[in-house]
Chain A
Amino acid sequence: MSVTPANHKFATRTIDVAEFFKIVLLSLFTLLWLVPVFAAFITSFRTMDDITLRGFWSWPEALSVTNFIKAWGAARVGKYLLNSFIITLPSLAGMIFLSSLAAYALARFRFKGNMLVYFTFVAGTMLPFQILMLPVFRLTNTLGLYDTYGALILIHTAFQLGFCTFVLRNFMRTIPQDIMDAARVDGCGEFRIYWQIVLPLTVPSLAALATLEFTWVFNDYLWAIILLRSDALRPVTAGLATLRGQYNTDWPVITAGALLATIPTLFVFVFLQRYFIQGLTLGSGK
């Protein structure tokens, strides 16, 4: 890779060889990454009998969209997707609002217990969530929230608070104190500084966080299994999981449903990508 400026004559050739290797290596890696994804895509157009008869990696005998129709209709993916949104969006709003409030205080003020609270939030991100399942189920049940959207919204909001606060606090620390102090001198209340000065500056980080959290909350399914009973409320991942049988499973339909379920995530990625790229910087290189 060393291109010494002295050897101008050979420089271009060396670069070409390096470039060539880079392209070859990249293509290999890309292939390794794309083949399974592509296989999933093809599977969703095949029938289970076709796969059993000819093997998964064989050339499909026929392709059809029946699996997608089945997934959307009989497997109610459309309805489940709506539920996913009803659960995910309020959770996102809740966790981002509450954690940005907390992060603001943690980043800006020195007060007793600051580090303790921060550590509690950070340590919470390390919790294996399965540890909480039964206690949270009992709590939810006692409060009368079992089998409601609210049960899932609350646990998702609470569980992700740790990570959000951790990220936002680190980001907010990089905002120069002078800006806030200046606002203070102008007579702004603390809440207004937070709302009208700090929050707009944090938007890229918020967007990045929202993207990540969206995929996490959207793809959760264990909480939905434990905290919901009714099919009518189920989010899409849990809904798709019901297609798995005790003995027999129609994998192509599940794959088709899963692909449909990724569309919102894809949208979020595409639309928020711009922010995402600026987003999780945590102040690096500012």
Chain B
Amino acid sequence: MSRNSFWKIFSVALVAILLFTACSPVIQTVTVEKEVKVVETKEVKVVETVEVKVVETQQVEVMKAADTVLYNSYNGDPKPRAFDESVVSMWNEAHPEQPVEHSIIAHEDFKQAIRAYLTADPAPDVLTWFAGNRARFFIDKGLVMDISDMWAANKFNETYAPGFQELASIDGKQYFVPTSYYWWAIYYRPSLFKQAGIEKAPETFDELLTACDKLNAVGVTPFALGDRFKWPTAAWFDYLNMRTNGPQFHIDLTDLKVPYTDPKVKKVFENWKLLIDHKCFMEDHAAYDWQEAIDPMVQGKAAMYLMGAFITDSYPDEAESDLDFFRFPIIDPALPVGEDAPTDGYFMAATARNSEGGKAFLAFLGSKEVQQKAFNELNRLPTRKDVDISAASAAVQKGIALIQSADYVAQFYDRDTTAAMAEAGMEGFMRFWSNPDDIDAILADLEAERLRLVEEGN
């Protein structure tokens, strides 16, 4: 090794590399002398196509040989995931010239990442999301593409149920394709009811309290609950509020129009406390994940669970024959009946590069074919009127009847209200569990959060 400094080696090496790089096109002509002509003739032809294509391909990702559609979804659950993937491969088989590039991330992560997605370059063309307030937030910020033309071209305004059309539109323009929903209800084990001497599923609040007492008398916990991650508790608030004060009050509250310190809200928690006093809930429920809280039910230690229809995906198949559900009991018969039925769907990013392909794929996702498939395979209820639901099982028919008989359909607490309010609200409900007498302080905190959000203009 010579005695000179390495710095110079580096600099000379860099210069040499640059020289090589600069020279390389020359080398190319030398090494492939024979082929140059071929390439040239081809290039002449190609120039024409370039000029034609430039107009339409300007926005398409250069990377791909075909014009791909970028699709990001949050279906991490085993069954919906398999469904999602099969829908994409159905599309890809039918449209090899415009394949969908599909990426799934976990639901929780998707909620955090969506803001990055919508402002990123390249943004996904098509995304999964919740209908209602959560979609509205992004529409208001101008991050969602107007898909009215696709909506009209595919006659969605004739085939979609009116309520869902409303959910998709703002000021007469469509931004969202709601595709499926599922119901919430009180799931229970008929065999345990029989054992406790309960003849029929409770229809009123008093009957529910009596049922709880009877179950406790035979040593069965009335309700399973696993709210370590808070949200299963929000269902209790939704239903108790809708049954105590009516759906309209619930809408106003989740829209942040009514103060949480309203005496009506306090009445909800008084009813809730009745349930606690009747020892309706299993002990230490905040220690369990909702899936873990199925265990006591399967093992016959708990009889009921207020949960969404997806409970059957986690419930062991062997035990499912002894599982049924009923509507959340009525508290005030004078009030209209509201139900929770979260609706999922799709929308497009405002900056989508492949807007044509995206819209075509969106039309496919909202088509009768796909909704039928979702209904058959996932028991997700269709938003289209023309899906054939006659072949459904008795349980699914019952679920459909449950929603259709409702006067108002809510999404769910954390979808109806803003994300920040949902976070604070659910934390408040959890505090209520461990200290029901603290309710005034809790509601004061929730009201403070509401006022802050109103002030922030959300």
**A touches B in complex, CB < 8 A:** yes
The chain A residue sitting closest to B342, CB to CB, is A246
Query: Which residues of chain A are within 8 angstroms of B315 by Cβ–Cβ distance?
Result: 52
Is the beta-carbon distance between B6 and A231 smaller than 8 angstroms? no
Is the beta-carbon distance between A191 and B5 smaller than 8 angstroms? yes
A181 and B325 CA atoms in complex are apart in Å by: 83
Closest CB in chain B relative to A188 CB, distance in Å: 8
**A248-B79 CB under 8 A given contacts A226-B113, A229-B124:** yes
**B81-112 contact mask (Cβ, 8 Å, vs A): 1 or 0:** 10000000000000000000111111111001
CB under 8 Å from chain A, chain B span 112-127: 112-113, 116-117, 119-122, 124
Is the beta-carbon distance between B116 and A226 smaller than 8 angstroms? yes
Q: Which of B75, B102, B113, B308 has the most CB of A within 10 A?
A: B113
User: Counting CB contacts under 8 A, is B70 at the interface?
Assistant: yes
Query: Which residues of chain A are within 8 angstroms of B121 by Cβ–Cβ distance?
Result: 141, 144, 146
Closest CB in chain A relative to B297 CB, distance in Å: 10
Give the residue of B5, B106, B116, B295 whose beta carbon is less than 8 angstroms from that of A245. Answer: B106
**B316-337 contact mask (Cβ, 8 Å, vs A): 1 or 0:** 1111000000000000000000
Is the beta-carbon distance between A55 and B112 smaller than 8 angstroms? no
The chain B residue sitting closest to A241, CB to CB, is B106
- Tally of B interface residues using CB under 8 Å: 49
**A244-B107 CB under 8 A given contacts A52-B295, A144-B121, A187-B3:** yes
- Tally of A interface residues using CB under 8 Å: 34
Query: Which residues of chain A are within 8 angstroms of B77 by Cβ–Cβ distance?
Result: 245-249
User: Counting CB contacts under 8 A, is B284 at the interface?
Assistant: no
Is the beta-carbon distance between A192 and B106 smaller than 8 angstroms? no
User: Counting CB contacts under 8 A, is A213 at the interface?
Assistant: no
A250 and B103 CA atoms in complex are apart in Å by: 19
**A53-B298 CB under 8 A given contacts A189-B5, A189-B6:** yes
A70 and B397 CA atoms in complex are apart in Å by: 34
The chain B residue sitting closest to A227, CB to CB, is B116
The chain A residue sitting closest to B76, CB to CB, is A245
Give the residue of B7, B105, B108, B299 whose beta carbon is less than 8 angstroms from that of A189. Answer: B7
Is the beta-carbon distance between A246 and B4 smaller than 8 angstroms? no
Interface Cβ pair total, 8 Å cutoff: 113
Query: Which residues of chain A are within 8 angstroms of B104 by Cβ–Cβ distance?
Result: 231, 242
CB under 8 Å from chain B, chain A span 179-216: 187, 189-192, 195
A6 and B10 CA atoms in complex are apart in Å by: 69
Is the beta-carbon distance between A225 and B105 smaller than 8 angstroms? yes
Is the beta-carbon distance between B314 and A241 smaller than 8 angstroms? no
User: Counting CB contacts under 8 A, is B457 at the interface?
Assistant: no
User: Counting CB contacts under 8 A, is B310 at the interface?
Assistant: yes
Closest CB in chain B relative to A32 CB, distance in Å: 21
Query: Which residues of chain B are within 8 angstroms of A241 by Cβ–Cβ distance?
Result: 105-106, 109
For the A-B complex with A231-B101, A244-B106 known, give 10 more contacts whose Cβ atoms are closer than 8 Å.
Answer: A52-B298, A146-B122, A189-B7, A229-B103, A229-B117, A229-B122, A244-B107, A245-B76, A248-B77, A248-B79
Residues of B within 8 A of A (CB): 3-7, 10, 70, 72, 74-81, 101-109, 112-113, 116-117, 119-122, 124, 290-291, 294-295, 298-299, 308, 310, 313-319
Q: Enumerate the 5 nearest inter-chain pairs by beta-carbon distance, A residue then B residue, closest first.
A: A189-B5, A245-B77, A246-B107, A231-B103, A191-B6
Residues of A within 8 A of B (CB): 48-49, 52-53, 55, 137, 141, 144, 146-147, 187, 189-192, 195, 225-226, 229-232, 234, 238, 241-250
Sampled A-B contacts (14; CB under 8 Å): A53-B316, A53-B319, A146-B120, A189-B4, A229-B70, A230-B103, A231-B101, A231-B103, A241-B106, A242-B76, A243-B76, A244-B107, A245-B81, A248-B313
